[in-house]
Structure 1
Amino acid sequence: MASSNAGIPAEDIDTSKPHPARMYDYFLGGKDNYEVDRVAAHRFMEAAPEVRTSVRANRSFLHRAVRDLVAECGIRQILDIGTGIPTQPNVHEIAQGIAPETRVAYIDNDPIVNAYASVFLTGAGNTSIALGDLRDPAAILERPAVRDTIDFERPVALLLVAILHFITEAEDPEGIVATLRDALPSGSYLVLSHATGDFHEDGRTEAAAVYKAATASMNPRARERVMEFFGDFTLLEPGLVQVPTWRPDGPLPADSELVGMYGGVARKG
């Protein structure tokens, strides 16, 4: 049985299909998931035993990137699209722990995630949450919660962390990211991570197939394709790499070479 549903009416919770955000929560050891999510998660782990190492490494990459951008690059605005179920510490906690004036806008397309995040953010200043679908980036940019929080005349850090691999090629991921990149002023940053099958002979196709029964499919991509999402932004060192090796602040996980996730941070202008 899952934990509290954050006040969401039972009829609004679809437990007939696994949900990527709830599966991710389970991989991270969270409790905001349901039996259908746990069954799918275990099928995924059978096909890709390193998944828990990968998602934890991805979460750590997010933390390091946010810390660097706020502490070293002076970023004071963050737009996090596909935020997922809140997992402490979250982006605003990390950023505002360094610079309390940092403004953070969260976007997710799932009402359940929105409700959890709204409860979690109660009393948090300079922070907002809104429903929005990455497949419609123009609408996200016009959300009142985004416009009221983010000043697009000043540098912004755009977070697309572990979200683009749920967009199919037919849905034009490159065009989606380009719309968002174009809205950012010079001095902004793009933080992106993406699943890949590059480090496994089977391409992790069996694992990705688990998501065919979920609310969104998984579409791992090769490094060359992921690189294209950065457009003309300049990648910071060490470039686009496996997430554990992006500016590590401690020993690498024992099986870090098996982590099927690329990550990188790039600057505009």
Structure 2
Amino acid sequence: MSADASHPDTDTTRPHPARVYDWLLGGSSNHPVDRKVGEALPGETRGNAARNRAFMHRATAWLARNGIAQFLDIGTGIPTEPNLHQIVQAVRPDDEDPYAVVRSLVGALPAGSFLVLSHGTTDQHPEWGRSIESAYEKGAIPLRLRTRSEVEPFFEGLELVAPGLVSATEWYREGPAPTPERSGFHVGVARIP
């Protein structure tokens, strides 16, 4: 196992989804093995990662401007400038049953809290077929893309904030509106009743 000096437990001989995502965003916290997976993905994947990141910035900023002061970020991402960890606490749950994990976490939150969720998809990129998942599989990285109907259950029992469950470039609450583009992510913000 090779380790980088700043993170002695980092295995740089195997790709990691957070480092692949970092590469997609143009970051520098990745290694040749991560770049190999990223380079095997369709070219538009980089744009989709950027659009997902922009959604997260819009949703988080809107919530903060509307009085939400505590954030919980659940994912495997490496903080990429600007660092989300500066405003949220990172947690890595076991995702064996992602619906149950989300229900459990949401169930522990007080009424009036919000769930901000983005999930990868090829719905707007049918030409990609399984190429995204296959590229990750070759790097031994588990990845499960979901259709819109498979993402909807994450919001079951919650109050979706307008515009609801949409693509990453369609979600905004305050102007200016993002440029409409095809997206590789379904996103939504929901209030816990």
TM-score by length of 1: 0.65
Alpha carbons of structure 1 residues 194 and 251: separation in structure 2 relative to 1, 3 Å: closer
Alpha-carbon distance in 2 for matches of 1:213, 1:201: 20
Unmatched tracts of structure 2, length 5 or more: none
Contact kept in structure 1, 2:4 and 2:12, CA below 8 Å: no
* Residue deviations 1:29-84 (CA, integer Å, cap 9, x gap): 1111110111111001xxx2211110000101011111110102x11111111152
In 2 relative to 1, CA 263–91 (structure 1 residues): closer, same or farther, beyond 3 Å? same
What residue is the counterpart of 1:209 in the other structure?
134
Q: Which amino acid aligns with 1:245?
A: E
Aligned partner of residue 155 in structure 2, secondary structure? coil
- Choose which of 24, 28, 31 in structure 2 pairs with 1:27: 24
| In structure 2, C-alpha distance between the alignment counterparts of 1:206 and 1:263, rounded to whole Å | 21
Report how far residue 213 of structure 1 moved. 3.1
Equivalent position to 1:200, from 125, 146, 150: 125
2: distance between equivalents of 1:188 and 1:264?
A: 14
Higher relative contact order (CA 8 A, sep 6+): 2
Contact 1:20 1:214 in 2 (8 A): no
Note if 1:39 corresponds to 2:36: yes
Corresponding residue to 1:65 among 59, 84, 89: 59
What pairs with 1:150-169 in structure 2 (closer than 5 Å)? 167=95
- Percentage of identical aligned residues: 43
Matched, 1:267 2:188: no
Does 1:230 pair with 2:163? no
| Structure 2 residue 10 is the aligned partner of structure 1 residue 13 | yes
Q: Separation in 2 of the partners of 1:187 and 1:36?
A: 42
1:105-145 deviations in whole A, cap 9, x for unaligned? 222xxxxxxxxxxxxxxxxxxxxxxxxx311xxxxxxxxxx
Q: Match of 1:264, SS?
A: strand
Aligned residues: 189
Are 1:252 and 2:179 an aligned pair?
yes
Code of the residue aligned with 1:62 in structure 2: it is M
Which of 114, 120, 129 does residue 189 from structure 1 map onto? Answer: 114
Moved over 4 A (4+): none
Where does structure 1 lack aligned partners over 5 or more consecutive residues?
Answer: 96-103, 108-132, 136-166
CA RMSD of aligned residues (A): 2.0
User: Matched residues in 2 for 1:219 and 1:203: separation?
Assistant: 14
State how far apart, in whole Å, the 2-side matches of 1:39 and 1:203 are.
18
